[in-house]
């Protein structure tokens, strides 16, 4: 088992739980990660997921853009999805050459388009193929640690059968979204399964680290769940959108929030981003928890250019300044 940087992050060594950013397609791009690098760095970054097959197809250029990173984003893990072990071996080798600190295999995405490719959560129903993929990825990366992100099961909880199978391959880390594929993102999370997972880990692969994932809403909750579950840390997803201060456990004032909107857009544009509309999910999340936020969100959602954005936010800053001076 290659632990790589994970060895340094082990809570038994640091005394602190691991705090990771979840790989979210269309969200956790380079600009998003740079905002966290400035305001509140997590223990480890994850990229958006990228197709192992796509890295060697006509879509190669697009896939490589997803894997662009800055030298200060360390440690950083590249996440791959797919269904062909040979693709994973080649892709893992490329990821190593690109200078990533780790490779993660997506075995939990419930998206139908991904499942139709035999990838993501559907691999829960094909554990033998999942094992082949893990082994192929390890061959490709050599001494870089390999991890897996998955769910508790497909139609039902399959902790012993599924998580146990993955543990038998001794990955450096497993991240478990504490729902089944069938439950998607809406059912109650099964944090009670954490104790059973920890027991399995201790029995099968004691050095493998464990992260819990799913609907973690605050830094305080993240720390509590890590402690209560017995996991080595947590992976946070949707709560990070519009909140690069998450891992600092502080609430920024309105001025900082407004300036962050412009800053995020500036970084996105600097790194070659041209699809303005894709930024709106971030704008919507930044504009919350203050007087006038709803009206500002409406304006931001109706905007169509960086120039309009600049005007809207600067006007909001003037209104805010007048309000606090009166």
The answer to whether residue 137 sits within a structural domain is yes
Domain with 158 in it: 6-248
Do 237 and 251 contact (CB within 8 A), yes or no?
no
Residue 146 pairs in a beta bridge with: 103
My answer on whether 275 and 143 are in the same domain is: no
Residue that finishes a domain, picked among 231, 248, 265: 248
Residue that finishes a domain, picked among 183, 213, 248: 248
The answer to whether residue 282 sits within a structural domain is yes
The answer to whether residue 1 sits within a structural domain is no
pLDDT grade, residue 298 (50/70/90)? very high
My answer on whether 215 and 260 are in the same domain is: no
My answer on whether 222 and 92 are in the same domain is: yes
My answer on whether 306 and 239 are in the same domain is: no
Q: What is the mean pLDDT of the chain?
A: 96
Residue that finishes a domain, picked among 213, 248, 283: 248
> Shortest CA distance to 119 belongs to which of 132, 109, 134?
109
> Shortest CA distance to 86 belongs to which of 130, 133, 146, 122?
133
d(CA 326, CA 323) in angstroms, rounded, equals 5
My answer on whether 121 and 36 are in the same domain is: yes
My answer on whether 144 and 291 are in the same domain is: no
b/e map 145-184, b = 16+ CB within 10 Å:
bbbbbbbbbbeebbbeebbbbbbebbbbbbbbbbbbbebe
My answer on whether 232 and 316 are in the same domain is: no
Q: What is the pLDDT of residue 251?
A: 87
The answer to whether residue 276 sits within a structural domain is yes
- Per-residue model confidence as pLDDT tens digits over 222-233: 999 999 999 999
| pLDDT above 80 for 320 | yes
Alpha helices for the chain (secondary structure H) = 6-9, 11-14, 30-39, 60-66, 85-97, 112-115, 127-141, 164-167, 194-204, 219-229, 254-270, 280-286, 293-302, 306-325
- Half-sphere exposure (Cβ direction) of 259: Cα atoms closer than 13 Å: 7
My answer on whether 167 and 311 are in the same domain is: no
My answer on whether 184 and 321 are in the same domain is: no
Concatenated DSSP letters of 111-173: -HHHHTTT-GGGGGG-HHHHHHHHHHHHHHHTTS-EEEEEES-SSS--IIIIIHHHHTT--SE
d(CA 67, CA 84) in angstroms, rounded, equals 20
Do 172 and 1 contact (CB within 8 A), yes or no?
yes
My answer on whether 243 and 259 are in the same domain is: no
The answer to whether residue 229 sits within a structural domain is yes
- Per-residue model confidence as pLDDT tens digits over 40-89: 999 999 999 999 999 999 999 999 999 999 999 999 999 999 999 999 99
| Count of domains for the chain | 2
Give the residue numbers marked as catalytic: 109
CB atoms within 10 A of CB 97: 9
My answer on whether 122 and 46 are in the same domain is: yes
Q: Cβ-count burial of 324 within 10 angstroms (0-12 exposed, 13-18 middle, 19+ buried)?
A: exposed
The answer to whether residue 69 sits within a structural domain is yes
Q: How far is CA 78 from the centre of its chain?
A: 10
The answer to whether residue 233 sits within a structural domain is yes
Q: What is the pLDDT of residue 9?
A: 98
User: CA of 261: how far to CAs of 66, 119, 279, 316, in Å?
Assistant: 22, 35, 9, 11
Q: Which of 8-17, 34-43, 197-206, 250-259 has the lowest mean pLDDT?
A: 250-259
Give the CATH number of the domain where residue 195 resides.
3.20.20.70
The answer to whether residue 304 sits within a structural domain is yes
| pLDDT above 80 for 324 | no
User: CA of 159: how far to CAs of 105, 146, 256, in Å?
Assistant: 18, 20, 43
pLDDT grade, residue 169 (50/70/90)? very high
pLDDT grade, residue 326 (50/70/90)? low
d(CA 265, CA 249) in angstroms, rounded, equals 23
My answer on whether 68 and 201 are in the same domain is: yes
């Amino acid at each position: 088992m290659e632990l790589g940087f994970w060895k340094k992050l082990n809570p038994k060594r640091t005394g602190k739980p691991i705090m990771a950013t979840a790989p979210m397609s269309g969200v956790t791009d380079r600009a998003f990660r740079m905002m966290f690098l400035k305001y509140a760095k997590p223990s480890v970054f994850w990229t958006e997921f990228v197709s192992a097959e796509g890295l060697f197809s006509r879509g190669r250029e697009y896939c490589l853009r997803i894997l662009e990173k800055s030298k200060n984003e360390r440690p950083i893990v590249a996440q791959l999805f797919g269904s062909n072990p040979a693709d994973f071996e080649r892709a893992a080798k490329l990821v190593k050459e690109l200078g990533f600190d780790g490779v993660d295999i997506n075995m939990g995405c419930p998206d139908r388009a991904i499942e139709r490719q035999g990838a993501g959560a559907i691999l829960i129903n094909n554990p033998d193929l999942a094992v082949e993929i893990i082994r192929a990825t390890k061959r490709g990366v050599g001494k870089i640690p390999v991890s897996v992100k998955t769910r508790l099961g497909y139609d039902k909880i399959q902790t012993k059968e599924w998580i146990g199978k993955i543990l038998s391959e001794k990955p450096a880390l497993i991240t478990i979204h504490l729902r089944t594929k069938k439950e998607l993102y809406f059912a109650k999370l099964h944090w009670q399964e954490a104790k059973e997972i920890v027991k399995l880990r201790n029995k099968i692969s004691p050095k493998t680290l464990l992260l819990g994932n799913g609907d973690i809403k605050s830094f305080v909750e993240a720390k509590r769940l890590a402690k209560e579950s017995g996991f080595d840390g947590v992976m946070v997803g949707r709560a990070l959108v519009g909140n690069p201060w998450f891992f600092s456990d502080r609430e920024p004032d309105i001025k900082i929030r407004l300036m962050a909107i412009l800053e995020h857009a500036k970084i996105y544009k600097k790194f070659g981003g041209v699809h303005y509309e894709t930024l709106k999910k971030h704008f919507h999340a930044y504009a919350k928890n203050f007087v006038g936020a709803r009206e500002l969100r409406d304006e931001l959602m109706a905007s169509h250019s960086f120039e309009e954005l600049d005007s809207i936010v600067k006007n909001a800053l003037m209104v805010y300044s007048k309000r606090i001076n009166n």
